[in-house]
Amino acid sequence: MISRATKGRTIGWSTALATIAGVLSAPGLAQQAPPSTTPQAAPMVQPIQSVALPVLNPAQAAQLSQLIAESGFAQGLRHGATAAPRPQDNDAIVRAALDYARAVHSGRLDSSDFQADWGLRPMAYDPLPAFADAVKRDRVAAWIRSLPPPYSGYDALQKGLVAYRAIETAGGWKAIPAGPDMGVGASGARVLALRQRLAVEDRDVVATGSKFDAELKEAVVRAQRRYGLNPTGLVSTGTLAALNVPAADRVRQIMANMERWRWLPAELPAKRIQVNIAAAVLTVFEGDAPIASMKAVTGRPGNETPMLQSRIHSVVLNPPWNVPTSIATKELWPKGAAALARQGYKIIGTGPGRRLQQQPGPKSALGLYKFDFDNPYAVYLHDTPSQSTFASFSRLASHGCVRFEKPGPLARLLLRNDPAWQPEQIDTALAKGKTLRVSLQPQDQVQVYLLYWTAFASANGEMSFRADPYGWDKTLAAKIEKRSALTAVAAR
């Protein structure tokens, strides 16, 4: 962890943020989860060809075989309750234990399973030394318990997995039929169906009655908050869609998010900036505590914001926008040169190699600030002159980069230890309109994480979900199940 101690002029993040109190709001902190790093992925199945495997005594063999069978289901490595046949001989049991350890500690996927825009990778992990020691000291059960990610967020998801599997086993919930919006004063069979649906997740809801009263409205508001929707108390199309997602899909969603937790390192930097892509929220962390949060705008489906980890190394004041060729071709060139000039675009070059650059100024799509970090996707954090999107509860509207509400306070926070770039100097430079790149000192560079969290527990332990706009949950859950099935067959 990065030390919180300060030296010389170095100002702690909490102190620096206190100087801009009231500027950074803190909505939606429960949507956030600790971030990950991007080490090289290790193959899921690591051969142990020339290494002597530990020899289990009969009691250890029986105990370990049972623990693996039960824990694999509990850790969300498979959806169905039916377990694969248990291995019988010593080497088969040991290999199954080592495979389980890699899966629950560092992820079920093989490196080939990762999509290009899943730019996070678990650290390579060899479970054999610790396992051999556990066998020697007859502490196999303790070793099994030590394998999952050491985060309360993961533990909360595991508890949520138990709860939603129980709901699924009991039959889940019935879909609420389509129809007009429902609010206070409505009545009929659809209101009864709404009550029955809400009561499955909310024990305070009365599951009988066909009238939409004030108490039912409050229950709808609670559900809308759990699903990241506008808490109006009116059941419209978006709320109906969230409530009608089958319980089995919620189980798979939890499984997918548990897998992403396994991609995290054992230790995290004390200071970090994190974006929940699915929830479109940016949060500043000190240690594991969120100290400021603000709304963001992330990539729309088709222009997905990638998952990644990097380090912010510079702040660009009055940045120009070098328009990607794909955006220029699809959206800007058809407008014509005159229209582009009115929007501050400059045509650079001629012929097939020409490109567009939007000049700094009030119309610039990047606003006044750009935060650069190395990554292969050419994405970054930036300001925007358009604030209207932040008022929406659905904020997936960018081409892949991340816009956010309060870039000025973040820039002052990052530059707080540079005597040449105090707030007065920043404001002066912005007023001149000239593009300036300010490099951060190595000790002031901050880790940034773009993550995709769609299932998590709130402060009171209640499960919350967000939409899966990119379809990554379903894809990941299917890959987990497929890999689990393949390893089960290989172990026979």
Using only C-alpha atoms, the chain has a radius of gyration, in whole angstroms, of 26
Is residue 401 among the annotated active site residues?
yes
Tokens 């967020």 identify what position? Answer: 153
**What is the SS3 assignment for 317?**
strand
| Count of Cβ atoms closer than 10 Å to residue 423 Cβ | 15
Residue 194 has φ and ψ, to the nearest 5°, of -65, -45
Label residue 434 exposed, middle or buried (CB < 10 Å: 0-12, 13-18, 19+).
exposed
Nearest-angstrom CA–CA distance, 164 and 450: 27
Is residue 382 among the annotated active site residues?
yes
Nearest-angstrom CA–CA distance, 475 and 253: 10
Judge contact between 483 and 268, C-beta under 8 A. Answer: no
Residue 192 has φ and ψ, to the nearest 5°, of -60, -45
SS (H, E, C) 109-125: CCHHHCCCCECCCCCCC
- According to DSSP H, which parts of 189-282 are helical? 189-201, 214-226, 237-243, 247-261
User: Pick the catalytic residue: 79, 313, 382, 399?
Assistant: 382
Please give the C-alpha separations between residue 128 and each of 53, 62, 93, 99, 368, in angstroms, as whole numbers. 8, 19, 13, 10, 52
Nearest-angstrom CA–CA distance, 433 and 360: 7
The DSSP secondary-structure symbol of 45 reads S
- Which tokens hold the place of 184? 């206070």
Residue type (1 letter), 454: T
Nearest-angstrom CA–CA distance, 70 and 63: 11
Label residue 358 exposed, middle or buried (CB < 10 Å: 0-12, 13-18, 19+).
buried
Residues serving a catalytic function are 382, 401
